[in-house]
Structure 1
Amino acid sequence: MTDDQQANVNEFSCAAIFGASGGIGRAWTENLANNGVTVWAGSRSGNVPQEGDVRPFAFDLNDEATIEQAASLMQSRPPQLIIAATGVLTLADGTGPERSYRGLRPDIMAQVMALNTIGPAMIAKHMLPLLDRHERGVFAAISARVGSISDNGLGGWHSYRASKAALNMLIKNFAIELRRTHKQAVVAGLHPGTVDSELSKPFQGNLPEGQLTDPAEAAQNLLAVLRGLTPDNSGEVFDFAGKRIPS
């Protein structure tokens, strides 16, 4: 770890994790809390780690008012690191990604966009104003390599791909806007790889050996990536190895 990266570690004295009950969100919360960071840990269920200085809150991606209330709560202890560790691949009723355009349904597309794009956008809307205008601050959202348009050689998974591509555009937009007032801020998308979680479970059967990552390892990898980003990287999407994913 470079001196700059070590300095960035120390700057994260407070973090906010939206989606702290999920596999990687829980791992992020535990990692940060165990390293002395105050963590605002949010979930719909309220099932978040209870260790260190963890401060639970409730929110619903489909209810903007709950996100606004969470941001208001954090004004007493604003985070320098904000992570939207949210997203959906398979819906609660078991509906998975479409393999063909023939399977497209407007109601399913709307649900996927609401959870993967609009929800994180509302988190950004209410949380970005909490970042200090003169200090380093980071906002990150879980994206995916399949959201890259130029890297798409297989097609399929239409709603999921489209929702992540739209999220990536919003990340770029937010970075441009925030740069005008927050010179030290970073807005980034993160591709964690295939993490052993409920999201990936239906698709783990055909994975090559060694491609499935433990949530704790994935969280550690992505924290290392975030700590190495500078304002020059704002608006881009990075994978778990710190490599930029093309738009």
Structure 2
Amino acid sequence: MLAEINHANALVVGASQGIGLGFVRALLQKDNFQRIFATYRNQSSAVELLTLQEQHRDRLECLQVDITDESQIIAGIKQIQESVKQIHLAIYCVGVLHEGNLNPEKSLRQIKSENLIYSFQVNSIGAVLLAKHLMPLFKKSDRSIFASISAKVGSIGDNRLGGWYGYRASKAALNMFLKTTAIEYSRRCPKTIVVALHPGTTDTRLSQPFQKNVPPGKLFPVEHTVNLLSKVISNLEMKDSGEFFAWDGSKLPW
């Protein structure tokens, strides 16, 4: 859908590693993307991304943004607005499943309120704050896409195993935020498509502790996941706004 736009601009949020970094690499290979903005939280974990910026200074601009801090989101978007008038593609790739003392809960006994709050801040609240502050860059004549990496385990209808309380609930909240954003965007930013995307199990730091249980052929390299999701994104139509898609283009239940 974006291939026909000659001077497209993109924003990848959470681009220091994994799927986000993969999207930055893929977008740099597309000649029609003129400017690519990429956010990272910690400089120490963004070495590859910052190296790419050195190699592509004319097209890639990296911004240090902690998405749990709304003031930093505002400052980052203001910086983008100083360079471009429209974002044609925004992808929210930030997510947390385990970090420090945070691990997927197998039972109610393991639930800690501070971990739940953090999971919601990263996996869902950051995305809807981004949607809030990106509106001026989406209220334009060209079509645009706001996509967020979700997860099949966030589907309430598909939940048959239980467990993983914080991750499941925060991804379910993300899906609801996106569905509701799509409804408001249909009025305020009528040419913007809003979607949730399930990437499948991808070989990243997030999935590493759980990879031994993945069936053969179902652990995707990052580049493969990005290629699959890029195809889904390129096939989106306005009627798809507010939907939840898997990596193979199929719709997932809420």
TM-score range, shorter chain: over 0.9
**Contact kept in structure 1, 2:155 and 2:252, CA below 8 Å:** yes
Q: Retained in 2: the 8 A contact 1:188–1:236? A: yes
Report the secondary structure of 2:146's partner residue.
strand
Whole-angstrom CA distance in 2 between matches of 1:234 and 1:242: 14
Would you identify which runs of 4 or more consecutive aligned residues in structure 1 move more than 3 Å? none
Tell me how many residue pairs correspond in the alignment. Answer: 240
Matches within 5 A, 1:81-96: 81-91=89-99, 93-96=100-103
Percent sequence identity over matched residues? 38
On the 8 A contact 1:133/1:181 being kept in 2, the answer is no
The one of 153, 159, 168 equivalent to 2:160 is 153
Per-residue deviation, residues 30-67 of structure 1 (Å, max 9, x unmatched): 11012122210110124223243111111002211111
Name 2:128's counterpart in structure 1.
121
Q: TM-score, normalised by structure 1?
A: 0.93
Of residues 53, 58, 68 in structure 1, which corresponds to 2:64? 58
Query: Over aligned residues, Cα RMSD in angstroms?
Result: 1.3
Q: Is the 8 A contact 2:152 2:198 kept in 1?
A: yes
User: Which residue of 215, 218, 227 corresponds with 1:220?
Assistant: 227
| TM-score of the pair, normalised by structure 2 | 0.91
Partner of 1:21: 16
2:40 is equivalent to residue 43 of structure 1 = yes
> CA offset at residue 183 of structure 1?
2.3
Unaligned stretches of 5+ in structure 2?
none
1:127-146 to 2 correspondences below 5 Å: 127-146=134-153
Query: Which of 61, 74, 79 is residue 73 of structure 1 equivalent to?
Result: 79
Alignment check: 8 A CA contact 1:17 1:42 kept: yes
Stretches of structure 1 that go unaligned for 5 or more consecutive residues are none
Give the alignment of 1:105-116 within 5 angstroms.
Answer: 105-116=112-123
**Corresponding letter in the other structure for 1:10:** E
Question: Partner residue of 1:9?
Answer: 3
- Does the aligned pair in 1 maintain the 2:105–2:166 contact within 8 Å? yes
